[in-house]
């Protein structure tokens, strides 16, 4: 009944179901030697632990198939706390690669079933991050608020500061800038009590973004520069790329395109795929302002490719949708390409279908304003994307 193909063993689906039906179901906690379905599933889960590759070799979804299989088996046996531990070890990688929709499904298997409070808080916050990335800000707020309550009940100050910052960013995207500043200021204060420098950098970056959206580019630039400095010092890739992206915009608003472009150039190679579209897009806008048009088009072409890569994994990725629409708009203006302008209009419509959150809309329209200032022929307006999101 067992077949061998490409160094793997298989059972025909009908044979597999028949064989499973002959086993007693067993109970959660059955030993690995128990000839029950639960015992054999637990044995299989341990097998996947043994054959997984080192984390330094995890570069794609295929590389984490063994721990993913182990996660599913832990869920099948009702061992949800262990499953949550497995998923927590995978979260950073799947988030980094942009698999937000996949993660929502995985977290759904353990949601409401985790007994350990700190483990549940980690699950809630990671699930919140996925919903936030997909533009589902109210759902993210609910999850972050639950995680924050657990952090305060358990006295876990690191988690408390991080969740306050997460909530602040959600309210930023909803256009509630003062509330975002208040929450991120609380996060900043805690992070500096306890010496949590990564959250300090994140909080400063988010406060800077809120000041930028509120019209104070000087205050924003100061906060964002602090965020970049701290993130660079501790070697934190995600917050330094996020803060650099928004610092570029602050310099653009201050009329200093050369300083904006300098921010996009870092001494070492920094890779964090979710920030790739924004970083290339901001670089392209700085080059546009400096009239380095060919280089601007090249940077925006890279932004488009990076955005498309992320959207192939999660088609509701809000940041990627916005960067893609802007990346199409700028080359359309530079090259007077009406077809590309029409494609940009379609991209903005696609983004609008995912979210109309006021903060997201306002950000995109302000960035589009940099591009439309160069659109002497009115090409973007003529094709329907002049107002952006």
Q: Each residue of 58-107: pLDDT tens digit? A: 999 999 999 999 999 999 988 999 999 999 999 999 999 999 999 999 99
How far is Cα 169 from Cα 137, in angstroms, rounded to an integer? 9
Do residues 110 and 83 make contact, with C-beta atoms less than 8 angstroms apart? Answer: yes
Q: Domain boundaries in the chain?
A: 12-51+67-78, 279-389
Angle (CA) 364-369-371 rounded to 5° is: 100
Q: What's the pLDDT at 269? A: 66
Q: Each residue of 223-256: pLDDT tens digit? A: 999 999 999 999 999 999 999 999 999 999 999 9
Tokens, residue 112:
């409401």
How far is Cα 184 from Cα 201, in angstroms, rounded to an integer? 11
Helix 80-97 / helix 100-108 crossing angle, nearest 10 deg: 170
Considering the entire predicted model, what is its pTM? 0.91
Residues whose CB falls within 8 Å of the CB of residue 351, separated by 6 or more in sequence, listed in order: 318, 321, 322, 324, 325, 364, 389
How far is Cα 261 from Cα 347, in angstroms, rounded to an integer? 26
Find the helix or strand (DSSP H, E) in which 253 lies: helix 237-253
Do residues 328 and 344 make contact, with C-beta atoms less than 8 angstroms apart? Answer: yes
Q: What's the pLDDT at 94? A: 96
Nearest alpha-carbon partner for 214 in 165, 248, 162, 253: 253
Q: What's the pLDDT at 153? A: 97
Q: Which parts of the chain have pLDDT scores under 50?
A: none
């Amino acid at each position: 009944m067992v077949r061998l193909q490409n160094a793997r063993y298989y059972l025909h689906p009908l044979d597999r179901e028949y064989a499973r039906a002959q086993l007693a179901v067993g109970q959660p906690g059955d030993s690995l030697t128990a000839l029950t379905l639960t015992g054999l599933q637990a044995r299989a889960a341990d097998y996947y632990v043994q054959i997984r590759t080192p984390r330094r070799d995890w570069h794609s979804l295929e590389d984490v198939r063994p721990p993913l299989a182990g996660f599913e088996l832990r869920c099948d046996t009702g061992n949800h706390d262990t499953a949550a531990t497995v998923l927590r070890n995978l979260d950073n990688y799947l988030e980094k690669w942009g698999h937000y929709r996949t993660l929502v499904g995985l977290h759904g298997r353990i949601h409401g079933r985790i007994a350990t409070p700190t483990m549940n808080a980690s699950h809630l916050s990671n699930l919140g991050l996925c919903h936030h990335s997909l533009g589902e800000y109210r759902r993210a707020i609910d999850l972050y608020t639950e995680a924050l309550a657990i952090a305060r009940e358990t006295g876990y100050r690191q988690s408390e500061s991080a969740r306050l910052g997460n909530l602040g960013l959600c309210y930023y995207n909803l256009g509630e800038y003062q509330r975002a500043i208040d929450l991120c200021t609380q996060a900043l204060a805690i992070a500096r009590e306890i010496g949590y420098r990564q959250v300090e950098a994140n909080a400063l970056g988010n406060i800077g973004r809120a000041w930028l959206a509120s019209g104070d580019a000087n205050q924003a630039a100061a906060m964002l520069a602090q965020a970049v400095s701290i993130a660079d010092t501790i070697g934190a890739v995600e917050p330094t790329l996020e803060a650099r992206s928004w610092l570029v915009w602050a310099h653009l608003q201050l009329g200093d395109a050369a300083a904006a472009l300098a921010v996009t150039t870092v001494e070492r190679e920094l890779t964090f795929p979710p920030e790739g579209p924004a970083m290339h897009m901001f670089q392209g806008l700085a080059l546009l302002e400096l009239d380095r048009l060919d280089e601007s088009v090249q940077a925006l072409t890279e932004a488009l490719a990076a955005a498309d890569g992320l959207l192939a994994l999660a088609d509701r990725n809000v940041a990627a949708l916005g960067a893609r629409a802007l990346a199409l708009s700028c080359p359309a203006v530079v090259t007077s390409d009406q077809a590309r302008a029409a494609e940009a209009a379609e991209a903005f419509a696609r983004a609008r279908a995912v979210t109309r959150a006021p903060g997201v809309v306002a950000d995109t329209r302000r960035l589009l304003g940099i591009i439309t200032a160069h659109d002497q022929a009115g090409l973007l307006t003529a094709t329907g994307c002049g107002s952006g999101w």
